Amino acid sequence: MDSSMVTTGLEISGFRIVRSLGVVRGITVRSRSIFGTIGAGLQTLIGGNISLFTRLCEQTRAEAFDLMVKHADEMGANAIICARYDATEVMGGVTEVLAYGTAVVVQRVP
């Protein structure tokens, strides 16, 4: 499945939904390393963007997104609508990131 066929909207312009396959998800759980925590702690002294945490968050969201797309592909979908992210701190320094949406089969509108 092409990841460009994922949207937060209810439809994809130029396509019509011909079948809904249900909810798909990608979940990953990550922790901060001791080195990342120390480095980020030092960055907080300076202020501004905490780039170590930004990178970690971006990698974690990308992994959850890729897992969601893979799940949809395994179900036979060629698109995902209503895509969302959710995050929960499972314990101190350990966070779960969930990407979810509705797997659909779409056809190009003539």
pLDDT at 91: 82
pLDDT in tens, 46-70: 655 666 677 888 999 999 999 999 9
What predicted TM-score, i.e. pTM, was given to this entire model? 0.83
Q: Where are the domains of the chain?
A: 3-31+63-108
| pLDDT single digits (tens) 82-99 | 999 999 988 877 889 999
Tell whether domain 3-31+63-108 is in CATH 3.40.640.10.
no
pLDDT value for 93: 73
- The predicted pLDDT at position 33 comes to 56
- CB pairs under 8 A, 24+ apart, for 105-110? 105/17, 105/18, 105/19, 105/21, 105/76, 105/77, 105/78, 105/79, 106/5, 106/12, 106/15, 106/16, 106/17, 106/18, 106/78, 106/79, 107/15, 107/16, 107/18, 108/14, 108/15, 109/14, 109/15, 109/16
pLDDT tens-digit series, residues 15-48: 999 999 999 999 999 876 555 555 555 556 565 5
